[in-house]
Structure 1
Amino acid sequence: MDIKQVDERFSVMAQPGIDDIEQLANAGFRTIIASRPRNETDDQPDTETLKNKAESLGITWYEIPVEPGKYAPEDIEAFASALQSSTDPVLGYCRTGKRAIHLWAYANAAHHPVTDLLGKASAVGYDLEPLRADLETYRNRTVKN
């Protein structure tokens, strides 16, 4: 299990298995945000089973399923709301962690400089440079509203 701490509140990882959920609870995670659609691949663990296990251990579970590279404003707003209302620490996941870190960056773009978000993502192994222009556009649109 490779958990990457992005900031003081949020960490990201690739798809957890059922056995990982108890380890996440023991590591202190209080919230999980799943950004992977259910039944995306045949080898994917059953999301409902993961959710039930997490909730039985006192972890709050959110599902914000997105397809790679397709982040609607509603998805970003849902992710931001989940982050804001969650008990720390929060773990985001998808198949590789990439969608989760992308959503984290969009959700934080209105409140933090994009360069800082890119730096934090890069520090844990995710290159968000290809999203820079889109994150800046999203930030400018969000901050003005």
Structure 2
Amino acid sequence: MTIRPPAGIGRFAAGEQPDAVDLAQLAAQGFKAVVNLRQAGEVTRAFDPSDEGQLVTSLGLDYVHLPIAVEDLSAATVSAFRERVSSLPGPVYVHCGMGQRAATLALIVEAEASGTAAAEAITAVELQGLSITPKVKNFIASYLNSRLAA
């Protein structure tokens, strides 16, 4: 996996579950923190969150485990994510199993900060090769549109 620290305004890069080699590469590439959104016991590409946390901190990076399921995406989960990551040094790699939850939360927080429209934010994520289901796209659009209208 080759992930570059985000350029410009964004503090986040989002993607799938890294392995031990990927985590070492993230540290070498200048990332300062890792946020794991996976729930303990997720079956695909399992890497126990406590083992991951130990490895990440041994590499000199900050680590946050904030388990969130796709079906739990809500304004409250966005708020919890924003609160947990606000004090982390950047750049920050946010991951889940396949990248959808990570991309969703990272793009919402960045889009809110920059005033980016929902469609533009979703397109930016898809250009990075991450898939977002129609249900999650609708959540992103609804959330961002309601925030921008307020």
TM band (smaller chain): 0.7 to 0.9
* Per-residue Cα deviation, 1:71-119 (whole angstroms, up to 9, x for no partner): 1333211222344322111101111111100112333443321122112
Find the counterpart in structure 1 of residue 130 from structure 2: 126
**Does 2:143 correspond to 1:138?**
yes
Structure 2: gaps (5+ residues): none
Q: What secondary structure is seen at the aligned counterpart in 1 of 2:63? A: strand
Q: Which amino acid aligns with 2:143?
A: Y
**Does 76-85 or 86-95 show the bigger shift?**
76-85
1:1-145 matches, within 5 Å, as 1-3=1-3, 8=8, 9-41=11-43, 43-110=45-112, 111-128=115-132, 130=134, 131-143=136-148
Q: Report the RMSD for the aligned CA atoms in angstroms.
A: 2.5
Aligned residues: 145
Q: Report SS of the residue matched to 1:62.
A: strand
**How far apart, CA to CA, are the structure 2 residues paired with 1:138 and 1:24?**
30
Distance 1:3 1:69 in 2: 27
Does 88-97 or 103-112 show the bigger shift? 103-112
CA contact (8 A) 2:38 2:66 kept: yes
Quote the Cα distance in structure 2 between the aligned partners of 1:127 and 1:20.
20
Change in CA separation of 1:12 and 1:32 when aligned onto 2, cut-off 3 Å? same
Contact 1:5 1:12 survives alignment (8 Å): no
Q: Which moved more, 1:120-129 or 1:33-42?
A: 120-129
Secondary structure, counterpart of 2:60 in structure 1: coil
Gaps of 5+ in 1: none
Confirm or deny: 8 A CA contact 2:49 2:65 kept in the other structure. Answer: no
C-alpha distance in 2 between matches for 1:99 and 1:129: 10
TM-score, normalisation: structure 1: 0.81
Between 26-35 and 70-79, report the one with greater CA deviation.
70-79
CA contact (8 A) 2:100 2:131 kept: no
